[in-house]
Amino acid sequence: MNHADTPVPNGYLRDSKGRLVPERLVKPIELLEDQTVRKIMGYADELSQQIARFKAHTFDDIGAFLSLIKEKYQAERGGSKGNMTFTSFDGTFQVKIAVADTMTFGAELQIAKTLIDECIRDWSEDSNDHVKMLVQHAFRVDKEGQVSREAIFALRRVDINDERWRRAMDAINDSIRVVGSKTYVRFYRRPDPTAAWEQVTIDLAAA
């Protein structure tokens, strides 16, 4: 049974265990805390719904604009993976759509690590110190047990004339799995076309 669906009689409060407690038995500071939290949450719920509606309207507007372009030119506007930038005529407002892939690595990554370890073991002690540091950083797991995606990709940009290294890079490429993607929208403004762009903050943590 969901306690939230059951009305609370006047003069009572429901505690965290679902029990009805007479309001006169609740400490004044706890009453004030309850009222404060409920007031803030009322605003938070309303704001959350407004942001959700705003996001939906934004994508609807962008979709309508792209449909007009497609109809006129028989082509979609956008960069790779759906990334797009839209700018006002006076160059002072900008809306950016970005699609970010969610990636993971398959078993091939362990094969790559084995080949890379062989390379490092055979290299002289003083050579490729920068690469050794990159490798250590790339395969250091975080508290969630994940390796650094950025550091793994950095390894792929290192050109080393070693056949095992090249096979390791091929294994890294084969290990990449795209398991999903998420679309982000960001907003920018500037006072005039010569100024730097400033992001319009909607994220509460960054406000």
Name which of 36-45, 73-82, 104-113, 137-146 the model is least confident about: 73-82
Percentage above 70 pLDDT, the chain:
85
pLDDT digits (tens, 9 = 90+) for 136-179: 777 776 655 667 788 888 888 888 888 888 899 999 999 988 88
Give the pLDDT band of residue 206 (cuts 50, 70, 90): low
- Asked whether the predicted pLDDT for residue 12 surpasses 90, the reply is yes
Predicted local distance difference test score (pLDDT) of residue 69: 85
The 3-state secondary structure of the chain, one letter per residue: CCHHHCCCCCCEEECCCCCEEEHHHCCHHHHHHHHHHHHHHHHHHHHHHHHHHHHHHHHHHHHHHHHHHHHHHCCCCCCHHHCEEEECCCCCEEEEEEEEEEEEECCHHHHHHHHHHHHHHHCCCCCCHHHHHHHHHHCCCCCCCCCCHHHHHHHHCCCCCCHHHHHHHHHHHHHEEEEEEEEEEEEEECCCCCCCCEECCCCHHHC
- Asked whether the predicted pLDDT for residue 21 surpasses 90, the reply is yes
Mean pLDDT to the nearest integer, 187-198: 94
Give the pLDDT band of residue 195 (cuts 50, 70, 90): very high
Predicted local distance difference test score (pLDDT) of residue 96: 93
Predicted local distance difference test score (pLDDT) of residue 4: 60
What mean pLDDT value characterizes the chain? 84
> Which residue has better confidence, 115 or 205?
115
- Asked whether the predicted pLDDT for residue 66 surpasses 80, the reply is yes
> Which residue has better confidence, 75 or 102?
102
> Which residue has better confidence, 23 or 121?
23
